[in-house]
Homo-oligomer: A and B are copies of this chain.
């Protein structure tokens, strides 16, 4: 299959965490694009509409043209600024919700500048931390209303929610695959879709392959994939394939079986590594793991799954891994 691999622009730069404000040096937007361009398998970029990016729209336009990169998606920046600390689309303060809607418009304008039709929301600040901290019913409703406003105003755009059960809040509203589908349904809009972040699915004890199936069944809502790896208990955002192996094979199988035609955007936090090199590794792993699935007989896999037999599945996995 064609390798539709992109990367979040910031991933080739440097990281921070709550203890260390800078593990590496800062890079300019132009430098980040130039670094992306050095990675053979990467053909697209995904952006976060941070103030820095919004201010450099012209750089973005010229750099994607220079390097022949596709802008795959742009994420609203509802998580890096203190103003969203009690939520954006769901915030109980109407003024904050208004700002969030204005920001959405601003991002859609940027999308149009760079020929991108996918606006994404990772609502990391929309949720709560403590018990007795939130009026769940009120805030759920605000979230759905805000989202509906955006989706209805822009039928030309795909508007996608990326779910994650926690972090930075201890509890997020857009938490699991099931709840996210319910929220999409509640907008009444077909252009409201869902992103699977592979690591987020694992963090919520989902099997990403089954989540693909659920999204197909309940409204065919999967539109984009964020890819990385972790140890299942936290969103470690590691290099793809450095922890899990077999889960990726099953994931790719179900994506192919359900006809996924979208992109895989590498989305990791290489705190202590060179960002560019870490992304290149993820792309190599993706290509390697997809090659193993390329070699597989899809019919044979379907037959094994019908047996509902862990022993048959075990033999199949070893065969897939051996690649012959």
B304 touching A132 by the CB < 8 A rule? Answer: yes
> Which of A85, A87, A130 is most buried by chain B, counting CB atoms within 10 A of its CB?
A130
User: Quick one: which of A85-136 are within 8 Å of B by CB?
Assistant: 85-87, 92, 124-125, 128-136
Decide if A62 is an interface residue (CB 8 Å cutoff). no
User: Quick one: which of A264-310 are within 8 Å of B by CB?
Assistant: 269-274, 277-278, 281, 284-285, 288, 301-302, 304-306, 308-310
B131 touching A209 by the CB < 8 A rule? Answer: yes
User: Quick one: which of A152-199 are within 8 Å of B by CB?
Assistant: 165-168, 170-171, 175-182, 186
- Contact A302-B135, Cβ < 8 Å, known A80-B20, A140-B217, A318-B288: yes
Decide if A44 is an interface residue (CB 8 Å cutoff). no
Choose the segment among A30-38, A53-61, A64-72, A238-246 that binds chain B (4+ C-beta atoms closer than 8 Å).
A238-246
> Which of A15, A17, A136 is most buried by chain B, counting CB atoms within 10 A of its CB?
A136
A132 touching B305 by the CB < 8 A rule? Answer: yes
A80 touching B133 by the CB < 8 A rule? Answer: no
Q: Which of B80, B186, B213 contacts A140 (CB 8 A)?
A: B213
Decide if A317 is an interface residue (CB 8 Å cutoff). yes
Give how many copies assemble into the complex.
4
B234 touching A234 by the CB < 8 A rule? Answer: yes
A182 touching B171 by the CB < 8 A rule? Answer: no
Decide if A18 is an interface residue (CB 8 Å cutoff). yes
Number of interface residues of A (CB under 8 A): 105
Decide if A13 is an interface residue (CB 8 Å cutoff). no
B136 touching A210 by the CB < 8 A rule? Answer: yes
- Contact A272-B18, Cβ < 8 Å, known A214-B179, A245-B321, A281-B315: no
Q: Which of B20, B140, B242, B315 contacts A317 (CB 8 A)?
A: B242
Decide if A145 is an interface residue (CB 8 Å cutoff). no
Which residues of chain B have C-beta atoms less than 8 A from A15's C-beta?
Answer: 18
Q: Give CA–CA (A140, B209) in the complex, Å.
A: 13
Besides the contacts A171-B210, A288-B322, what 17 more A-B pairs have beta carbons closer than 8 Å? A15-B18, A23-B85, A85-B271, A128-B308, A129-B236, A129-B238, A133-B313, A170-B236, A171-B207, A176-B178, A176-B179, A177-B179, A178-B179, A232-B232, A242-B314, A278-B310, A284-B318
- 12 A-B pairs within 8 Å (CB atoms) are namely A130-B238, A132-B250, A132-B314, A135-B305, A175-B178, A176-B179, A182-B214, A234-B234, A242-B313, A245-B321, A277-B311, A278-B311
